[in-house]
Copies of this chain bind each other. A is one copy, B any other.
Amino acid sequence: MPDPITAAAPVSYTVSIEVIPMSIVDAVPAVLLVERDQQHALPGGVLHAGEGLEAAVQRILGAQAPVTAAHLEQLYTFVDAPAGGGAASLTIAYVALVAAEGFAAPLKAHAALVLADVSVPWAGEAGGPVDVCTPGGEPLALVAGDAEILGQAMRRLRGKLDYSGVGFALLPERFTLRQLQDVHEAILGVRLNKPAFRRRMLDKGWLEATGERETGASFRPAELYRTRPVKGG
């Protein structure tokens, strides 16, 4: 027995998307933020008609922070606080994982883009305070709500890190085991044991040695690995 009013005219929502373009820069988790009115916000925009969610994420990234996301992941959806005007609205948060080199070009091209280091303490499932600052260490003011989103994103990554391949999305196509370990340490915020980390990664069978080696180092060059194409799907 539906209410006749809502049945005749179901409530309409404006649907926004917010994206967290995230990477590991200098062994620290970092995101791209857009500067607006002295504050810093995640890139975002409105979902168009007939547009897929991931397509919208790509469009918004292209317009505000043109990075190549190696992994897109939906985080969660929430209703926005009513904005006075009264139009109901909803936001869907996405995480976009990018290799570190992917941040340089957009930072040069878009003056409003800012690189921010993120630190999220381990506070169980609930999560503690999220700290965002410039690589220099100056704290940044975040738009209301974005700190919470960043915290959820970091916790999601931590949870998925060692049973899924999300870590690889933060690295270039060829990488050394040390780089992979740096990514894991940055996300987890913990130092890991080198031999144990190597064993675990190689035993998973996700990696393939290329036979090539790092160049440019003044010490023994590390072997380059790539993710192994999974056979059979």
Contact = CB atoms under 8 A, between A and B. Distances in A.
Interface of A: 6, 10-15, 46-53, 74, 76-79, 82, 88, 90, 92, 125-126, 159, 163-164, 233
Contact of A125 (B10, B88, B164): B164
Given A48-B6, A53-B78, A77-B53, A14 B14 contact: no
Given A125-B164, A126-B233, A233-B126, A11 B47 contact: yes
Q: How many copies does the complex hold?
A: 2
Given A13-B13, A13-B14, A125-B164, A88 B53 contact: no
Contact of A12 (B6, B12, B51, B76): B12
A46 B6 contact: yes
B14 A47 contact: no
Nearest to A52: B79
Contacts of A76: 74
A49 B126 contact: no
Contacts of A164: 125
B10 A11 contact: no
Contacts of A78: 53
